[in-house]
Amino acid sequence: MTGCLPPHPGLVGGPVYLDYNATTPVDPRVAEAIHPYLADWFGNPSSSHPYAAAPKHALARARAQVAALIGAEAGEIVFTGSGSEADNLALRGAVLTAKNDLPHVITQVTEHPAILETCRALERLHGTEVTYLPVDGDGLVDPAALAAALSERTVLVSVMAANNETGALQPIAELARITRAHGALFHSDTAQAAGKVPLNVRELGVDLLTVVGHKMYAPKGIAALYVRQGLALEPLVYGGGQEHGLRAGTENVALAVALGTAAELATAELADGTPGRIAVLRDCLHRCLADALPGRVHLNGPSTGRLPNTLNVSIDGALGHELLSAAPGLAASTGSACHSGTHTPSPVLTAMGLDADRALGALRLSLGRWSTLEDIETAVTALLKAAAAL
Measure Cα distances from 288 to 279, 283, 322, 380, 383 in Å: 14, 8, 20, 7, 11
CA torsion sign for 173, 177, 178, 184 is: positive
Q: Evaluate whether residue 19 is within a structural domain.
A: no
Q: Evaluate whether residue 35 is within a structural domain.
A: yes
Measure Cα distances from 52 to 38, 60, 64 in Å: 14, 12, 19
341 pLDDT more than 70: no
Residues 331 and 185 in one domain: no
Residues 301 and 339 in one domain: yes
Instruction: Please give the residue range of the domain that contains residue 199.
Output: 28-270
The residues near 351 (Cβ < 8 Å, ≥ 6 apart) are 109, 110, 134, 135, 139
Q: Evaluate whether residue 14 is within a structural domain.
A: no
Residues 190 and 313 in one domain: no
Amino acid at 220: K
Query: Which of 225, 248, 270 is the C-terminal boundary of a domain?
Result: 270
Residues 147 and 199 in one domain: yes
284 assigned to active site: no
Residues 139 and 178 in one domain: yes
333 pLDDT more than 90: yes
Q: Evaluate whether residue 4 is within a structural domain.
A: no
220 DSSP assignment: S
State the greatest distance between any 2 C-alpha atoms of the chain, in Å, as a whole number: 68
Query: Which of 270, 304, 329 is the C-terminal boundary of a domain?
Result: 270
Q: Evaluate whether residue 11 is within a structural domain.
A: no
- State the pTM of this model: 0.95
Query: Which of 245, 270, 295 is the C-terminal boundary of a domain?
Result: 270
User: Are 174 and 206 within 8 A, CB to CB?
Assistant: no
Residues 280 and 340 in one domain: yes
Q: Evaluate whether residue 16 is within a structural domain.
A: no
Tens digit of each residue's pLDDT (9 = 90 or more) over 274-331: 999 999 999 999 999 999 999 999 999 999 999 999 999 999 999 999 999 999 999 9
Residues 256 and 350 in one domain: no
Residues 244 and 281 in one domain: no
Number of domains in the chain: 2
145 pLDDT more than 90: yes
In the chain, % of residues over pLDDT 90: 92
Q: How high is the pLDDT of residue 342?
A: 62
107 pLDDT more than 80: yes
Domain harbouring 58, CATH code: 3.40.640.10
Q: What backbone torsions phi and psi does residue 389 show, to the nearest 5 degrees?
A: -65, -30
Q: What is the mean pLDDT of residues 26-30?
A: 98
Residues 266 and 339 in one domain: no
Q: Evaluate whether residue 3 is within a structural domain.
A: no
Residues 249 and 280 in one domain: no
State the chain's mean pLDDT as an integer. 95
Q: Evaluate whether residue 9 is within a structural domain.
A: no
Q: For residue 20, which of 224, 221, 276, 278 has the smallest C-alpha distance?
A: 278
Residues 200 and 311 in one domain: no
Q: How high is the pLDDT of residue 1?
A: 40
Domain harbouring 333, CATH code: 3.90.1150.10
362 pLDDT more than 90: yes
Length of the chain: 390
Tens digit of each residue's pLDDT (9 = 90 or more) over 184-215: 999 999 999 999 999 999 999 999 999 999 99
Which residue is catalytic, options 4, 119, 284, 338?
338
Q: How high is the pLDDT of residue 336?
A: 58
Residues 295 and 208 in one domain: no
Q: Where are the alpha helices (DSSP H) in the chain?
A: 28-39, 53-70, 83-97, 113-126, 143-149, 172-181, 201-204, 253-272, 274-292, 320-325, 347-351, 356-360, 373-389
